């Protein structure tokens, strides 16, 4: 099949991979356009007074939060939440890459691990991974890329425990490091989970992929973000998986000068410009091509269908 009669953006997003034309079944996943979720597990941040801000936050913010919590905490939440829908809802919407930032809470005597962004999550890592596995049981031909990174407070023992949890939850779904990263080959072998791990421990384990590079522009304006990415594209794409994060960042100056706004306000106001840029992009192996494109509040716009539709350009090349 060298052409597509129905726009790929009109495919059922909960199973878009399994509905891709046969002509794309042998394309390496790192050459497809794949929608991703930046800081995927921030829909369940702990809003209780007993939950501290995470230890990556500036000392000044930690002190202000300690003594002025009722005033400071609403600002933290407004800029820490990047997704509002559960991981199941995000997968149903078409997300196939999840940015997972893992932490052990300070002063926690248990070995439970959580997610974090500004503050810690209420859901444990194991709970969320089990939810993903159950979703994959119902969608066996979809492939999910899980990027474990930004580890905070994890000892070597906790890393070992996390790896054990990953293996126990996903078992035979885990894809080992292999060159045959196409839908056809993964379907044939029954693999549906690719785990990348931002730690040197990954080199010792055949089922852990190395950290996936993430292009982060650290900008609060769409125009500046786009300019940064266009500059990076001139130097060529990485060889394997990589992420272009169209997530904007509100720095302290921006947040203080926009006291009534939230990250969601910033994102929704700039999505039209960002998605216009995304529509101009091309997946594949050529210089300037993109692969995974991750965003915030991914269910609030046509973000996912826009990214999936980019794969039509690969069909035109093969015709």
Q: Which residues are catalytic?
A: 38, 117
In the chain, how many H helices and how many E strands? 11, 10
Beta bridge partners of 37: 98, 295
The tokens of 23 are what? 């002509």
Contact 267, 38 (CB under 8 A): no
The tokens of 139 are what? 């969608």
What secondary structure letter does DSSP report for 22?
G
DSSP run (H or E) holding 76 = helix 69-80
Report CA-CA distances (Å) from 131 to 56, 91, 123, 235, 309.
27, 10, 11, 39, 27
| Number of other residues whose CB lies within 10 A of the CB of residue 169 | 20
Burial label for 290, CB within 10 Å (0-12, 13-18, 19+), is buried
Nearest to 119 by CA among 76, 149, 148, 66: 76
* Cα 11 to the center of its chain, rounded Å: 21
Residue partners of 58: CB distance under 8 A and separation at least 6 = none
* Cα 124 to the center of its chain, rounded Å: 17
């Amino acid at each position: 099949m060298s052409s597509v009669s129905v726009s790929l953006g009109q495919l059922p997003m909960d199973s878009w991979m399994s509905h891709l034309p046969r002509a794309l079944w042998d394309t390496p996943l790192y050459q497809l356009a794949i929608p991703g979720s930046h800081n995927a597990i921030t829909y369940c941040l702990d809003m209780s007074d007993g939950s501290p801000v995470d230890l990556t936050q500036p000392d000044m913010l930690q002190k202000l939060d300690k003594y002025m919590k009722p005033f400071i905490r609403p600002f933290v939440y407004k800029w820490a939440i990047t997704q509002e829908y559960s991981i199941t809802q995000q997968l149903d919407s078409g997300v196939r890459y999840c940015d997972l930032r893992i932490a052990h809470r300070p002063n926690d005597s248990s070995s439970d691990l959580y997610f974090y962004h500004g503050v810690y999550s209420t859901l444990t890592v194991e709970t969320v991974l089990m939810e993903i596995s159950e979703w994959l049981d119902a969608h066996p031909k979809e492939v999910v890329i899980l990027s474990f990174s930004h580890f905070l407070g994890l000892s070597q023992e906790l890393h070992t425990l996390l790896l054990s949890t990953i293996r126990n939850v996903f078992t035979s779904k885990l894809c080992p490091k292999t060159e045959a990263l196409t839908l056809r080959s993964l379907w044939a072998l029954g693999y549906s989970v690719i785990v990348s791990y931002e730690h040197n421990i990954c080199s010792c384990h055949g089922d852990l992929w190395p950290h996936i590079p993430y292009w982060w522009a650290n900008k609060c304006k769409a125009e500046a973000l786009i300019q940064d990415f266009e500059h990076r594209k001139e130097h060529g794409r990485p060889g394997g998986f990589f992420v272009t994060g169209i997530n904007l960042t509100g720095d302290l100056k921006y947040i203080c000068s926009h006291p009534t706004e939230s990250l969601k306000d910033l994102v929704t106001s700039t999505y039209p410009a960002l998605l216009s840029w995304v529509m101009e992009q091309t997946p594949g192996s050529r210089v300037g091509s993109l692969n995974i494109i991750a965003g915030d509040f991914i269910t609030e716009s046509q973000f996912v269908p826009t990214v999936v539709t980019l794969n039509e350009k690969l069909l035109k090349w093969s015709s």
